[in-house]
Amino acid sequence: MTTDSKIVQFYLGKTTDNRGRSIEEIWQWDHELLERTHDYIQWLFPLPEVSRFHPHAPILTEADITRFRNSFGLNTRLTVSLEVILDFYGLSCQYLEPKNFKIVPAVNFPIRKKCWLHWGNHNHLRIGRILRSLQVLGLENYAQSLLQCLEQLFILEEGKITKLTLASWQDAVKAY
C-alpha cells in the first residue's frame, strides 16, 4: 500500500500546507488576499522543480504526477484551483459543452486586469507556474486554452506583456 505525498493529501483535503491552511480555505480567499499572499500559488499549482521564491513549497515527484494524471478527483480539484485564480485575473472558463471550453476575459476583466496586466508584474511569474503545472499534471487542454487567451491579450493589450514573458508562457506549455 502506498501513502500519498503531502501535496496529494493537501489536494484531497486531508492535510494543510506548511502554514496550516487547507485547500478549501485558500479557495475561499478574496482577491486582495490572493494578491498579497505569496506562498500559496506553489501549493495550488505545484511543479517538479524547487521554487526559487519559497523553499518550503512542495516538489512534485513522478508518483505525484502519475497520481494527478490518473485521478478524476484530483483533476477536478485542480480545475477548481484554476477557476479561483482565473477569477482573480478577470478570466473565466466558458463551457460550450461539457468537454468543450475556452478561457476568455470575464465581465470583471476591465477591473481585475489593473492588478496584473502591466509590464513587470509578479503575477506574470505566477501565470507561468500555472501554465506549467496544468501541463505537467495532465490538464494540457486548460493550459493551451489559457495560453491562447493570454496570446490574444498580448495583442489586444499592447505593451502590457513583454515578448519575453509571452515566450516564457509559451515554453511553459510545451509537452511534459
The pLDDT tens digits of the residues spanning 52-89 come to 888 889 999 999 999 999 999 999 999 999 999 999 99
Asked whether residue 1 is assigned to any structural domain, the reply reads no
The pLDDT confidence band at residue 2, using thresholds 50, 70 and 90, is low
The reported pTM is 0.95
Asked whether residue 125 is assigned to any structural domain, the reply reads yes
Asked whether residue 62 is assigned to any structural domain, the reply reads yes
Domain total of the chain: 1
Asked whether residue 68 is assigned to any structural domain, the reply reads yes
The pLDDT confidence band at residue 120, using thresholds 50, 70 and 90, is confident
H helix or E strand, kind and range, residue 43: helix 41-44
Asked whether residue 161 is assigned to any structural domain, the reply reads yes
Domain hosting residue 117, numbered range: 6-172
Q: Is the pLDDT confidence value at 166 over 70?
A: yes
Instruction: Report pLDDT for 116.
Output: 96
Asked whether residue 63 is assigned to any structural domain, the reply reads yes
Averaged pLDDT for residues 144-167: 96
Share of the chain above pLDDT 70, in %: 99
| Mean pLDDT, the chain, whole residue set | 95
Asked whether residue 133 is assigned to any structural domain, the reply reads yes
Share of the chain above pLDDT 90, in %: 89
Instruction: Report pLDDT for 71.
Output: 96
Contacts of residue 74, defined as CB under 8 A and 6 or more positions apart, other chains included, come to 8, 11, 12, 67, 68, 137
CA distance 82 to 133: 10
The pLDDT confidence band at residue 100, using thresholds 50, 70 and 90, is confident
On the CB side of 125, CA atoms within 13 Å amount to 11
Averaged pLDDT for residues 154-171: 96
